[in-house]
Structure 1
Amino acid sequence: MKIVTFNIRCDCGVDQENNFEFRKPYILKKLAEESPDIICFQEVMSHMALWLNDSLPDYCIVGCGRDENLDGEQVPIAFRRDRYSLIALNHFWHSETPNVPGSIFSEQSVFPWLCTECFLMERESRKIIRIVNTHLDHLNSAVRRKKLELVMNTIQSESMYKEYLMFLAGNLNAVPESDEMEVMKSYSDFRCLAHDIGITYHGYFRNHLYSEIDWSAQIDYIYVRGDVQLKSAEKWTDVHKGVYLSDHYPVSVVVEKKFDVQKYK
C-alpha cells in the first residue's frame, strides 16, 4: 500500500516559473508513474480541486472548502477507485466549535483550517482503513500546538473506531524537534513513517515568506496507528528545468498491512 502526503502549493502568481499552470503536467506525470493508493493533498484551491477531479479519473477525490460556505481551500483525500470504496466522510475545523464550517480559534490567523477524514473499505480484504488529512497554521507555534492537540483528541475520542488501521498525514508546519510536535510523542500508539526523510519544505529555495519556519525543513508527515511494516519511505524531489512539483517535496511511504482478523470481526 502506497500513501502520499502532497502539499501541492496553491495557485499563486508570485511563483513565476513554478506557477501551478507550469507544474500541472509534471504533477500528472509523477502521479501516473508512482500510482499511489491514497494521496492526502493540501493547499487545493477550488479550481485546482476541479482540475484534479478531471485529470485523475482513476481516483475518487473527497473534500470540501474550509470557508463557511464550504468553498475555498481544501485538504482533500484521493483514493484509487479500483481498490477502495468510501464508507464514511467527515470534516472538522480547527476551532472551539469544530463542527461549525469556517470556524477558527480566536487567537489564530484569519483563515479557517480543517481536517478531512474518510473511512475506506479495501475491496480485496474487505477491511476498513481510516485516513485523516490536515494542514496546520503556518504563523503561530502555540496555535499549531493547540490545533494538533485538537486533532489528536478528536480522532482518539472516537472509541468505536480505535481498532481500525489509521493514517494521519499532512503539512504540520512544524519541525520534528519543535514544541508542537511534542504532542505526537505523547501518543505512543502513533508511529511516524518518515522521521528521517530530511527537508520536505524547500520554498523553491528562495527566501521564505514566513520567518518563523525554516525555509528548508521537514514539516510534512505521515503517521500510522496499527500493525504495518514499513517497506520504504521517500520524498519526490523531481525538478524539470527549474520547475518543481511544488514548494514541498511530496512524501511517499509503502507499507505492508498486517490486519488482525480478530479486531475486525
Structure 2
Amino acid sequence: MKVVTFNIRCDYEQDEENSFCYRKPYILQKIVKESPDIICFQEVLPHVALWLKENLTDYNVVGCGRGKDLNDEQTAVAYRKVKFDLLGFLVFWLSKTPGVFGSRYENQSICPRTCTKVFLWSFEDKRLIRIYNTHLDHESKDARKSALRQILKTVRDDRCSYDAPAVIAGDFNACPDSPEMKVMNAAGEFVDLTGGTDGTFHDYGRQKAEKIDYIYGDSVLICQEVTIWDESWKGVYLSDHYPVCVRLKFAAEDKGES
C-alpha cells in the first residue's frame, strides 16, 4: 500500500515557469508512473480539485474548501477505486468548534485550517485503515500545537468506533526539532514513517529543502520504503514541496478479522 503526502501548491498563476498550468503534465505523469494507492493533497483550490477529479480517473477524490462557504483550499484525499471502499469521510476544522465551517483558533493566521479523515476498507488486505490529512497554520506555533493535539484526540476517539490502523499525514509547517512536533513525538502509538528523510519544502529549488511534510503511522503499520519525489524537468518541479511516498503493510499479527 503506497501512501503519499503532496502539497500541490495553491494555483494563483504566481509561480512563473512553475505555475500550475506548466506542472500539470508532470504531476499526472508521476502519479501514473508511481500508481500510489492513497494521496493526501494540500493547498487544493476548487478548480484544482475539479482537475484532479477529471484527470485521476482511477481515483475518487474527496474533500471540501476550508472557508465558511466551503470554498478556498482543500486537504483533499484521493484513493484508488479498485483498491478501497469508502466507509466514512468527514472534514473538520482545526478550532474549538470543529464542526463550524471556516472556524479557527484565535491565535492563528486568518486562514482556517482543516483535517480530512477518510475511512477505507482495503479489498486486498480485508482491513480498515483510517487516513487523516491536514495542513497546519503557517504562522502560529501555538496554533500548530493545538491542532496536533486536536487531531490526536480525534484519532483516539475514532478508535472507539473503528479500532483500525491510522495514518496522519500532511504539511505540518514545522521542522522535526520544533516544539510543536514534540506533541506528535510524545504520542507513543505513532511513529514518523518519514523519519530520516531529507527536506521537503524547497521553494522550487531556490533554497535548501526543509522537512515540514510528514506521514505518521501507528505500530500496526510497517513501513517498507520511503521515497521523495524530487524530479524536475528543465527547472519545472512537481510543486514547491517534494511529495513524500511510503510503502506500508499491515503487521502480520494484525491480519485477523476484528
State the match for 1:65 in structure 2: 65
What SS does structure 2 have at the residue aligned with 1:109?
Answer: coil
What SS does structure 2 have at the residue aligned with 1:158?
Answer: helix
Measured after TM superposition, the shift of residue 162 of structure 1 is: 5.9
**Contact 2:27/2:238 (8 A) holds in 1:** yes
Distance 1:254 1:92 in 2: 27
Aligned-CA RMSD value: 1.4
Measured after TM superposition, the shift of residue 91 of structure 1 is: 1.2
State the match for 2:124 in structure 1: 124
TM-score (norm 1): 0.93
Measured after TM superposition, the shift of residue 108 of structure 1 is: 1.2
State the match for 1:210 in structure 2: none
Distance 1:66 1:94 in 2: 10
Measured after TM superposition, the shift of residue 252 of structure 1 is: 0.3
State the match for 1:189 in structure 2: 189
**Contact 1:194/1:253 (8 A) holds in 2:** yes
Measured after TM superposition, the shift of residue 245 of structure 1 is: 0.2
Moved over 4 A (4+): none
**Contact 1:156/1:162 (8 A) holds in 2:** no
State the match for 2:89 in structure 1: 89
Q: Deviations over 1:44-66 (max 9, x none)?
A: 00000000000000001111111
Distance 2:238 2:255 in 1: 39
What SS does structure 1 have at the residue aligned with 2:82?
Answer: coil
Range that drifts further, 9-18 or 75-84 = 9-18
Distance 2:222 2:150 in 1: 28
Distance 1:243 1:76 in 2: 23
State the match for 1:200 in structure 2: 200
Q: Which 5+ residue runs of structure 2 have no aligned equivalent?
A: none
Distance 1:171 1:95 in 2: 17
Alignment counterpart, residue 238 of structure 1, candidates 228, 231, 237: 231
Does 1:257 find its partner at 2:212? no
What SS does structure 1 have at the residue aligned with 2:151?
Answer: helix
Measured after TM superposition, the shift of residue 161 of structure 1 is: 4.2
Range that drifts further, 158-167 or 168-177 = 158-167
What SS does structure 2 have at the residue aligned with 1:177?
Answer: coil
Distance 2:219 2:206 in 1: 38
Percent of paired sites with the same residue? 44
Q: Deviations over 1:53-110 (max 9, x none)?
A: 0000000111111111212110010000000010001111011101111111112111
Distance 1:87 1:57, change over 3 A: same
State the match for 2:213 in structure 1: 220
Kindly provide the amino acid, as one letter, of the partner of residue 245 in structure 2: S
Does 1:248 find its partner at 2:248? no
